[in-house]
Chain A
Amino acid sequence: MAISRRAFLQSSIAGGAALTAFGFDVTPVVAQAKTLKIARTSETRSTCPYCSVSCGVIIHTLGDRAKNAVPQVVHVEGDPDHPINRGTLCPKGASLEQDILNERRLLTPQVRRPGSDRFEDISWDAAVDEIARWVKTTRDATFIAKDAKSRVVNRCEGIAWTGGCTDTNELNYLVVKTMRSLGVVYLENQARV
């Protein structure tokens, strides 16, 4: 049958019954199609950041990519095509959506003062200034240029660094460079993926 794929649409536009390519009347189907609320979702492959297993995940993001629309992550699931996890996720990886969408997520730096029982918000500028001041003070006080046998070691044992599992490669690169330049030896950044 030499009927184009959109033949039913053409007949609909012409005012007649809406017909499929084989001549079926789909007028009620067209009527329902006009009432459907259709949402566009994209699937993005990514890697779980939580441990060195590096499971594959698929992130579902709702949004039609219009300029005035904010994309919204609606679901995260294991990637069934990934050779490591074949679609499965551990309980921590299964909570990835909450790593992205979480009303308890911190949006500003916080500090807990000596003797205090709570964290308090602090501005980014104040945090940077205070960290810089404490790093300088602590390093000056605890820097070891030579060990007991007079060997040059140039290390700072008064400062330690630990990173989080969701830190990016770029952040971890900068952390290592910065900490090594300060002489920090107690350094863990959880760089795994």
Chain B
Amino acid sequence: MRESWDRRVQRAEQLVADSGPAASLLAFYARLLRQQRTVYDSLDDRTLSGAIEQDAALIAGGATAVLEEVAAHGPAPLVAEARALLACDASAIRALLVDHWRTRSDRQFFAKAILQPYGQRLVEAGRTYQRSASLSGERCPRCGGAPQLSILEAAGAESTDGGSRTLLCATCLTGWPCRRVRCPACGEEDERKLGYFHSETLDHIRVDACESCRRYLKTIDRGRLGLAVPLVDEVAGAPLDVWAQEHGYDKIELNLVGL
């Protein structure tokens, strides 16, 4: 729904106004979210087939706005890449999108940013996809994407009611349930090898880490902050990414600011 993009943009703008240490990241992310919303608006699920080879041309039509925004306001490496893509013909962008849809690399900034609105459109239209056999770990049951983050829902009025855990897909931005005590990367369920790192400074965000595979992802606890918009607050929790990566943990899926 378009409202979900509005909420993301508003939350990002709100966090930028708070002037936290991640404000510059969030300022860029707010710009990107606005352009992703434009891509989302440009897509009509009645004309989408669900096959990336056929839909890539439709998606690429709206991708120019994303490329131009990043070329104007992004960091140097992304600016160079955006300009190169803008200089190419549409077939290069189509090939980029098709390749990313098949291989799903979190290093492909533009393909990931442009395909997120597409993925969300398809899921809202009730489309699902064949999961690739080569993908490992917890994967989105709808599109096969890796989890960007997890969400702890506020279960009830009592703090002792345990909230369920949902993983948010990095590709189609929809959630699917996951066990609380389980590593989404390797499936580890030994409680002695799992744990979370938390700071009162970022009270509603925690780092869920696995000692077996040394991977992590951030969890947004909506029981602690109901106003949180997970995708945006995950970016605002950038200091925790820095801390986790300095301590030798690898993130399951880099977000759109590269953390």
Contacts and interface: CB of A to CB of B under 8 A. Distances in A.
A and B co-occur in one complex = yes
Contacts of A183: none
Nearest to B236: A29
B201 A36 contact: yes
Given A24-B257, A77-B161, 8 more contacts: A1-B107, A3-B107, A3-B258, A22-B256, A31-B21, A33-B242, A78-B155, A87-B162
Given A21-B107, A23-B78, A89 B160 contact: yes
Interface string B89-118: 000000000000000000111000000000
Contact of B161 (A33, A38, A81, A88): A88
A76 interface: yes
A21 B254 contact: yes
B199 to A, nearest CB: 4
A2 B107 contact: yes
Interface residues of A, number: 49
Contacts of A22: 74-75, 77-78, 109, 256-258
Contact of B194 (A43, A81, A97): A43
Majority secondary structure, A binding face: mixed
Interface stretch (B9-17, B34-42, B49-57, B245-253): B245-253
B105 to A, nearest CB: 10
B3 interface: no
Contacts of A75: 159
Interface of B: 20-25, 28, 74-78, 81, 107-109, 155-156, 158-165, 179-181, 191-192, 194-202, 238-240, 242-243, 245-246, 250-251, 254, 256-259
B78 A78 contact: no
Q: Which of A1, A38, A43 has the most CB of B within 10 A?
A: A38
Contact of A44 (B161, B191, B256): B191
A30 interface: yes
A104 interface: no
A79 B254 CA distance: 29
Nearest to B191: A44
A89 B155 CA distance: 11
A41 B160 CA distance: 17
Interface in A35-74: 35-45, 57-58
A93 B158 CA distance: 12
A25 interface: yes
A20 interface: yes
A1 B75 CA distance: 13
Contacts of A19: 75
Contacts of B238: 26, 29
B225 to A, nearest CB: 17
A66 to B, nearest CB: 13
A5 B25 contact: no
A41 B192 CA distance: 11
Contacts of A43: 180-181, 191, 194-196
Contacts of A26: 22, 25, 238, 242, 259
A97 B76 CA distance: 52
23 contacts: A1-B108, A8-B259, A19-B75, A21-B258, A22-B75, A22-B77, A22-B256, A23-B78, A23-B258, A24-B75, A26-B22, A29-B242, A38-B198, A39-B197, A42-B195, A43-B181, A43-B191, A58-B162, A77-B161, A77-B162, A78-B162, A87-B164, A94-B158
A163 B198 CA distance: 40
A80 B198 contact: no
Contacts of B198: 38-39, 41
Nearest to B254: A21
Contacts of A37: 199-201
Contacts of A41: 195-198
